């Protein structure tokens, strides 16, 4: 009998076009194989002769990481079988077609993610084996697989939280929320490589590369590594934070349009941190990385967010009798807003009931297990006050639930409590609404309704866990449980008389109503109301006063008085931060008793608006004419104007254009031609910045049809 010729591999087709489409990775390109764990993918192997299953033996080998090991889960060997054997590495359902072998490969839903090398070993009988490389592939988390820890059972939500490559960050003030368009760009061809480069520059990897890679099957572990690596406090992370208002050595956080430019800049410079980021930049970049790796992720804004370092669940702020908010050496602050991420996952490390959305916060605020990272903290655990559960739940709980105590200082001493606010922190917690450009409040997923019995019960439960038994009878808790502090003889409110625009005088209205109190149940009272306006910093501090005003009035019982106030543009023109926020404070002193009352109004100034129009239908490869229009509605010129355009699938990288000076009252019209490269829903982001106003932003949703589509 003639000896059968040795089986030799002549070629391997990884069928990346077909596989990438079925694995929802086609947006990353089809030049290489990118698949998701827990799902079949298909190969075609061409041999020197027909494959004979009785005598020819094929062993598949898949390896990832620096020292692949079956013990660590970074190396897998598996044989050709007729039937797939379950949630393990396997090659099955093969079809012999002449000299070709069609085979289905399966990766377990708990496999390590990463770049893999795929090989086969061929042998006949007891003879020696020959190894052939088949190629490489990238393995990602799979939120479409019910066996994966990141499984999300809704195609609509998967499209929003994994596939959508643009979105919004919400900024400003809880009563004036502004949409900030952002280009996530997670499917740009080089971003997936940069994401793994981030993992490979972490301190965990540098300390023990093999062990670090072996833990990349665990989404909780990967999330914590990414959270630490987006900031650069411990390592060569992606972004360097800067809250100093001096951005001369880098890019202002307000001038970023998206994540792609930041990630490419970091990679191109060998992993040197990019200057600069603040919370919304950190969170948006993390959203890009996590969506790219296959973890459903969204960006969340918490308005009036507590930074409670000493974990006592109170934030103290101080005013003097002239209504000036005073600076303090304490690190505890109330940020105007703070932005973090939520990632969707099963928490096998926690008791049942805490799966779903988890908070992850890459902004460097405090250390967790020795590194500047935060989370994952179960949103359900935060709502229920289960602050003992990992990770960093007490810190996040305080961000949305701490109480605010406002003190009046006299002669450097805190002499009077002006207000004890149990519901002023954690307002309008917002994220992008699914399938819409609008924001959605998700406050109810973080806490019960403010002031409800459930909310106060949860607060007391969390307080006792965080303060400990030795402080269970603290003055703070006694104050908390005693309810209201005191009654006031008048009600004060500050209102805006018209929409506040940067560059215009601000018109306010003080409304005062006399109400009965224990000291003066019926009679008239005299009030001296001292006002102060200060630039409000993002992290809760203020600058020196930019405007003061005093009002004296007498108030009869049951009567209401209105008093107009004018804050001229000339007072604040050069005094604000780039975020254009003003705090107007008023302290009313009752002449008969010397007691004081506080009224506050935070004002977010609107920048000029720009409009973006496209003149025809958008189609891949065909010219798309874009018109950008900006009218300077301010009283002053906008100098050194520059425009940056960005948008995955519409613009390759960024388009930057110098626009010069835009005189007050004049209109700027810009026309550009774009050539879309990807079909489907896209978003064009436009940023115009000037010396006077850093963030004039706009966007245009554009649906791009495939080339040649009718």
Q: Is 279 a catalytic residue?
A: yes
Partners of 140 in the beta sheet?
Answer: 36
Non-local (6+) Cβ contacts of 675 within 8 A are: 621, 622, 623, 624
Closest Cα partner for 664 from 695, 693, 635? 635
310 within 8 A of 463, measured Cβ to Cβ: no
State the residue for tokens 């289960």. 386
Q: How far is CA 236 from CA 206, 214, 228, 230, 252, in A?
A: 11, 22, 10, 9, 19
Active-site pick, 195, 223, 279, 532: 279
Q: Per-residue b/e over 161-184, b at no fewer than 16 CB within 10 Å?
A: bbbbbbbbbbbbbbebbbbbbbbb
589 within 8 A of 595, measured Cβ to Cβ: yes
Active-site pick, 56, 361, 386, 392: 361
User: What interhelical angle do 191-200 and 279-293 show, nearest 10?
Assistant: 100
Distance CA 336, CA 330 (A): 17
Structure token pair of residue 598: 């506080």
43 within 8 A of 15, measured Cβ to Cβ: yes
Partners of 415 in the beta sheet?
Answer: none
Mapping DSSP onto H, E and C, the string for 60-124 reads EEEEECCCCCCCCCCEEEEEECCCCCCCCCEEEEEEEECCEEEEEEECCCCCCCEEEEEEEEEEE
Distance CA 17, CA 88 (A): 24
User: What interhelical angle do 219-230 and 279-293 show, nearest 10?
Assistant: 140
Mapping DSSP onto H, E and C, the string for 532-580 reads EEEEECCCCCEEEEEEEEEEEEEECCCCEEEEEEEECHHHHCCCCCCCC
- Ramachandran sector of residue 502 (left: φ over 0; alpha: ψ -120 to 50; beta: rest): beta
For residue 529, which phi and psi values (nearest 5 degrees)? Answer: -110, 115
- According to DSSP, the β-strands at 618-619 and 696-705 are parallel
CA 440 to chain centre: 15
Structure token pair of residue 685: 């982001």
Active-site pick, 23, 173, 204, 338: 338
Angle at 629 between CA 628 and CA 635, to 5 degrees: 145
Say whether 435 sits in a helix, a strand or coil.
coil
Residues annotated within the binding site for Ca(2+) are 401, 403, 450, 455
Distance CA 192, CA 178 (A): 30
The number of C-alpha atoms within 13 Å of 151 and in the hemisphere containing its C-beta is 12
160 within 8 A of 167, measured Cβ to Cβ: no
Distance CA 593, CA 81 (A): 90
Structure token pair of residue 701: 């949703």
By annotation, the residues acting in catalysis are: 279, 338, 361
């Amino acid at each position: 009998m003639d000896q059968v010729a040795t089986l030799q591999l002549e070629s391997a087709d990884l069928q990346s076009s077909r596989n990438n489409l079925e694995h929802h990775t086609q947006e990353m390109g089809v030049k290489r194989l990118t698949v998701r764990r827990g799902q079949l993918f298909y190969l075609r192997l061409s041999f020197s002769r027909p494959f004979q299953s009785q005598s020819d033996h094929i062993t598949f080998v898949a390896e990832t990481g620096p020292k692949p090991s079956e013990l660590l889960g970074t190396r897998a060997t598996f044989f050709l079988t007729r039937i797939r054997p379950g949630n393990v590495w396997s090659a099955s359902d093969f079809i012999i077609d002449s000299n070709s072998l069609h085979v289905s490969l399966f990766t377990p839903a708990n496999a390590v993610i990463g770049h893999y090398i795929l090989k086969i070993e061929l042998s006949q009988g007891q003879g020696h084996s020959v190894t052939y490389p088949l190629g490489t592939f990238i393995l990602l988390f799979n939120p479409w697989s019910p066996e994966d820890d990141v499984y999300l059972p809704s195609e609509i939500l998967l499209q929003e939280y994994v596939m959508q490559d643009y979105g919004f960050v919400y900024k400003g003030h809880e009563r004036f929320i502004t949409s900030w368009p952002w280009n996530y760009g997670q499917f740009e061809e080089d971003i997936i490589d940069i994401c793994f480069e981030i993992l490979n520059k972490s301190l965990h990897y540098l300390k023990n590369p093999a062990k670090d890679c072996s833990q990349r099957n665990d989404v909780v572990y990967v999330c914590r590594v990414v959270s630490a690596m987006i900031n650069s406090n411990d390592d060569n992370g992606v972004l360097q934070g800067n809250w100093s208002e001096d951005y001369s050595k880098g890019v202002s956080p307000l001038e970023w349009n998206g994540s792609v430019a930041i990630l490419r800049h970091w990679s191109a410079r060998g992993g040197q941190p990019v200057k600069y980021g603040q919370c919304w930049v950190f969170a948006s970049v993390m959203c890009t990385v996590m969506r790219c790796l296959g973890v459903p992720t969204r960006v969340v804004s918490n308005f009036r967010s507590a930074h409670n370092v000493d974990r006592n669940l109170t934030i103290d702020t101080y005013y003097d009798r002239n209504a000036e908010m005073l600076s303090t050496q304490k690190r505890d602050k109330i940020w105007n807003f703070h932005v973090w991420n939520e990632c969707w996952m099963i928490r096998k490390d926690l008791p049942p009931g805490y799966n779903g959305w988890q908070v992850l916060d890459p902004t460097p605020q405090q250390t967790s297990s020795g590194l500047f990272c935060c989370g994952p903290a179960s949103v359900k655990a935060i709502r229920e006050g289960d602050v003992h559960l990992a990770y960093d739940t007490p810190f996040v709980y305080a961000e949305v639930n701490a109480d605010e105590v406002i003190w009046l200082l006299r002669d450097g001493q805190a002499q009077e409590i002006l207000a004890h606010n149990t519901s002023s922190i954690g307002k309008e917690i917002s994220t992008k609404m699914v399938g819409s450009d609008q924001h959605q409040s998700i406050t109810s997923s973080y806490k019960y309704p403010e002031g409800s019995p459930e909310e106060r019960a949860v607060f007391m439960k969390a307080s006792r866990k965080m303060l400990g038994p030795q402080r269970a009878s603290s003055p703070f808790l006694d104050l908390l449980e005693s309810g209201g502090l005191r009654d006031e003889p008048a009600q004060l409110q500050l209102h805006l008389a018209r929409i506040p625009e940067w560059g215009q005088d601000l018109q306010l209205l003080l409304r005062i109503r006399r109400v009965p109190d224990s000291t003066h149940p019926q009679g008239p009272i005299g009030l001296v109301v001292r006002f102060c306006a200060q630039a409000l910093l993002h992290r809760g501090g203020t600058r020196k006063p930019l405007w003061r005003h005093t009002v004296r009035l007498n108030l009869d019982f049951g009567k209401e008085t209105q008093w107009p106030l004018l804050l001229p543009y000339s007072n604040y023109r050069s005094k604000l931060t780039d975020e254009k926020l003003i705090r107007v404070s008023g302290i009313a002193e009752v002449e008969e008793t010397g007691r004081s009352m506080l009224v506050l109004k935070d004002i977010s100034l609107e920048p000029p608006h720009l409009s973006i129009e496209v003149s025809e239908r958008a189609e891949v490869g065909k010219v798309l004419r874009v018109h950008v229009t900006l009218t300077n509605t301010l009283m002053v010129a906008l100098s050194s104007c520059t425009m940056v355009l960005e948008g995955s699938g519409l613009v390759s990288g960024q388009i930057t254009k110098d626009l010069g000076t835009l005189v007050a009252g004049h209109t700027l019209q810009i026309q550009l031609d774009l050539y879309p490269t990807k079909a489907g829903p896209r978003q064009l982001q436009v940023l115009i910045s000037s010396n006077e106003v850093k963030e004039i932003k706009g966007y245009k949703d554009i649906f791009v049809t495939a080339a040649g589509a009718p």
